[in-house]
Structure 1
Amino acid sequence: MNENVTAPLRARAEIDLAALKANVRALRAHAPGAAFMAVVKADAYGHGMLPVARAAKEAGAEWLGAATAEEALELRAAGLPGRIMCWLWVPGGPWREGIEADLDMSVSGMWALREVVDAARAMGRVARIQLKADTGLGRNGCLPGDWPELVREALKAQRAGFVNVTGLWSHFACADEPGHPSIAAQLTGFREMVGYAEGEGVTPEVRHIANSPGTLTLPETHFDLVRPGIAMYGISPSAEVGAPGDFGLRPVMTLKANLALVKHAPGGLGVSYGHHYVTPGETTLGLVPLGYADGIPRHASGTAPLLIGGKRRTIAGRVAMDQFVVDLGGDEPTAGDEAVLFGPGDGGEPTAEDWAVASGTIAYEIVTRIGSRVPRVYVGEEGGSTRA
């Protein structure tokens, strides 16, 4: 539940919903002929699924995309209108609930088709399903050799009145690596598998394969629908694709904390577990009350940057479960002063990409892993800030 922000917070992730809406509009401009699916899986990449979904819909997104059935059902239970798709199913999943909620449910193999048909038969309802083709990612989806059987049986179930095949779709493996040979190969494979299904009688409402890099740089992949994920949150899918500003995008999350302690320290003082950092001389140390239980990567120990008092600092020593230390070099901010771990970067603060480089990972992981102990504070909307 959202409430007005009043009490100070140990830490917070500020989510700029105005930036998110602007990102949706910018991405739509890159694919003007396609419908837009706002991918809000994994709690909207750590940004808060329901507020982000509502903002994306307000900005013009016709579809919402979730990984799990539970995520999609939560969206529908919250009153989100329009088409909602989910794609990560396991045997025994909540097919009946998905049918009742009018979800578009992805089917990648015969076991899933059998289960959704059984649920639809028992309910006397028609299930909306989308057939996923594995065109070369080698992950979820139906391989070309199994595609004819899946298409045939799906059409049989459709003629019997149990399902409606609403979509044909796939996912890229290397669209964030411009010029990678797999991109053209997957696109050719997708066209062939779609062509086969349509030749057999499938009449999909949507055909889709474009993720964030596809939406931004590969117009030939747009088909009927694009599915931006990370780009909607103002983060580039890769440095090779380009920086967020190259596409008119702005990072949506800013992670902040209030210093819990500032103290004078002598030279030669070991800092945090293992004493991997030792103060080189007399200095001041600041305690940031965030740790790996909040999603701060332990791999950021001794490497990740942050902004305190208008200066870039670096984590000193190991990140602990709930806190880490910064060598302030003799500067004397006070307890309660703000530390900015990452944000859009225009205030001198690091970005999520900077943290990804420092931690040996990708920016997707940096924002998605921020835990539930860190409140999300929503800004950029009329009526002031709200907290969730």
Structure 2
Amino acid sequence: MTIDQPWLRRATVDLGAYRANLRHLQEVVAPADLMAVLKADGYGHGAVALGRAAVEAGVTWLGALELANAHELREAGIDERVSIMVWQFASSETFERAVGERIDLGLSSLRQLEAVARAVRSVASAAAPDARPEALIEIPALVHLNVDTGLHRDGVLPGDWDALVLRAVELRDEGVIRLRGIYSHLAEASDDDDTASARALAEATERAEALGARFERRHLTASSAGLERPELRLDMVRMGANTYGIPVTDGVTAADRGLVPVMTLSARIARVKRIAQGTGVSYDYTWRAPRDTTVALVPIGYADGIPRRSQHGASVAVRGRRYPIVGRVAMDQFLIDVGDDPVEVGDEATLFGSGSRGELTVGEWADLIGTIGEEIVSGLGPRIPRVYV
């Protein structure tokens, strides 16, 4: 879709702003590497388009979460000079294609490690079915071992750590895997909790090295701690929200971080109606006009990912002025109260953007309705075309 075609609703993604954010963040976290996280289709922005933009910005690590996402990025032409890491797998996952495409694998169990080893041997056997077993392995799997340091999602618990490390060392010595990294993830509950998690990762690293392991990279922090706790950056910082210009710290704006929001969400005003004082609008009449006024219909709703609770505090910008959402947000639309202002059908209503034209940023929108910006952008539905500029 080009920006000149007729449209009802759209999300405009500013690739220049994304590249600028990445370059700024690379400077901030240096000498650590920056991994640009593109999970959930690039937080709803479009993983392929942003992956290419990240490479243009000099990023050499991408986070894709799942193998299907990583394969899509490889198919889009992002080659092996850029590392793509995944860390969430189905219980029956097979890894042959990932091995061949040089995708980095974040592993949380001995079972996953053995599955990766089988895949490496399968790939080698298919390439040289008559070779001796010890001569088969030419392409080791790229492995990162995940330590559970307190978040209790992925990661290996202390009681299982030695067994995983010892097996990984055996497979490394056989040429089956390459130990690319050791990593964990912070709960970000408090500075003390994060410090304890960092200590746990350091202890796990020390124990693994005593068992013979050597890791190329250690990584722990994401968007929040990656900026606020420089001593925890280690060798790489995995960033998602900040790269999209969505600050993750309460009370902090994108501008405070030197960032620009990447997405602008807009819709065309579909109808304008003059209503009398006391008139109820939308389902349940949760709002009645306090005076004679004009309401305008914005054709985007909760089926598109607009939270129903947006009526409690959020506003929309039209012609540089903000107008409150009134009444229930419906599946396909909501209303705004424009008073006596000259708003017309076809005018652009901006839900959130960079803030440069009087609109809210997605971070401000999220604060007003009690959520986070990441939930809003990643939840935007397929009826909203992504337009890249």
Moved segments of 4+, more than 4 Å: none
Alignment match of 1:356 (pick from 346, 353, 366): 366
Contact 1:13 1:255 (C-alpha < 8 Å) held by counterparts: yes
Show the counterpart of 1:386.
none
Q: Which amino acid aligns with 2:246?
A: I
The structure 2 residue matched to 1:278, chosen from 252, 263, 288, is 288
More moved, 345-354 vs 60-69: 345-354
1:39–1:229 contact (8 Å) kept in structure 2? yes
Q: How far off its partner does 1:14 sit?
A: 1.2
Quote the residue 1:15 is aligned against.
Answer: 13
Does residue 233 of structure 2 align to residue 219 of structure 1? no
Distance 2:284 2:142 in 1: 55
Q: Choose from 5, 26, 29 the match for 2:27.
A: 29
Comparing 266-275 and 103-112, the one that deviates more: 266-275
Deviation of the 1:236 alpha carbon: 0.9
Give the counterpart letter for 1:165 in structure 2.
Answer: L
Which residue does 1:345 correspond to in 2?
Answer: 355
CA contact under 8 A between 1:85 and 1:103: conserved in structure 2? yes
CA deviation vs aligned residue, 1:18-73 (integer Å, no higher than 9, x gap): 11111111111111111221111111111111111111111111111011111111
Whether 1:137 aligns to 2:135 is no
1:220-252, Cα deviation, whole Å (9 max, x unpaired):
112211111100011111126x33222211111
- Who is 2:277 aligned against? 267
Give the Cα separation in 1 of the matches to 2:220 and 2:272: 51
The answer (yes or no) to whether the contact 1:302–1:317 under 8 Å persists in 2 is: no
> SS at the partner of 2:54?
helix
| Correspondence list, 1:246-265, <5 A | 246-265=256-275
CA–CA separation in structure 2 for the residues paired with 1:181 and 1:165: 30
> Is 1:228 the equivalent of 2:234?
no
| Aligned-residue offset at 1:140 | 0.7
Q: Distance in 2 between matches of 1:145 and 1:66?
A: 29
- Alpha-carbon shift at residue 120 of structure 1 (Å): 1.7
TM-score by length of 1: 0.92
Kept in 2: contact 1:302–1:318 (CA 8 A): no
Q: Which residue of 1 aligns with 2:128?
A: none
SS at match of 2:239: coil
Instruction: Kindly provide the CA deviation profile for residues 110-135 of structure 1, in whole angstroms up to 9, marking residues without a partner as x.
Output: 22112112222222252211110111
Aligned partner letter, 2:83: R
Q: How many residues align?
A: 373
Residues of 2 paired with 1:343 and 1:4: CA distance?
A: 19
Contact 1:134 1:140 in 2 (8 A): yes
| 1:73-84 alignment runs, 5 A limit | 73-81=71-79, 82-84=82-84
Q: In structure 1, how many angstroms separate the alpha carbons of the residues matched to 2:55 and 2:234?
A: 21
Aligned residue in 2 for 1:120: 120
User: Deviation string for 1:152-184 (max 9, x for gaps)?
Assistant: 11112222332222111111111xx6x521011
1:382 maps to what in 2? none
Distance in 1 (CA, whole Å) between partners of 2:234 and 2:338 is 52
Q: Which residue of 1 aligns with 2:183?
A: 169
1:151 paired with 2:165, answer: yes
Q: Which amino acid in 1 is paired with 2:242? A: A
In the alignment, the residues of structure 1 paired with residue 15 and residue 209 of structure 2 have an alpha-carbon distance, to the nearest angstrom, of 39
Distance across 1 between alignment mates of 2:341 and 2:374: 33
User: How much does 1:193 deviate?
Assistant: 0.9
Find out whether 1:319 has 2:329 as its counterpart. yes
Q: In the alignment, which residue of structure 2 is the partner of 1:101?
A: 101
1:288–1:339 contact (8 Å) kept in structure 2: yes
Q: Give the corresponding residue for 1:238.
A: 249
1:147 deviation in Å?
0.9
Aligned twin of 1:85: 85
Q: Which runs of 5+ in 2 are unaligned?
A: 125-138
Q: Which residue of 2 aligns with 1:183?
A: 194
Q: 1:171 corresponds to which letter in structure 2?
A: H
In structure 1, runs of 5+ residues without a counterpart are: 380-388
2:37 corresponds, among 36, 39, 58, to: 39
Aligned position for 2:131: none
Contact 1:284–1:332 (CA under 8 A) maintained in structure 2: no
Q: How many percent identity over aligned positions? A: 42
2:65 — aligned with what? 67
Question: 1:324-359: per-residue Cα shift (whole Å, max 9, x none)?
Answer: 111111223110001110112232211112221232
Deviation at 1:306, TM superposition (A): 1.2
SS of the equivalent of 2:153 reads coil
Question: Residue 136 of structure 2 aligns with which residue?
Answer: none
1:173 maps to amino acid: A
Kindly provide the amino acid, as one letter, of the partner of residue 234 in structure 1.
G
CA distance in 1, matches of 2:293, 2:68: 50
Of residues 209, 212, 217, the one that matches 1:201 is: 212
8 A contact 2:353–2:362 mirrored in 1: yes
Cα distance in 2 for partners of 1:244, 1:281 equals 37
Distance 1:94 1:265, change over 3 A: farther
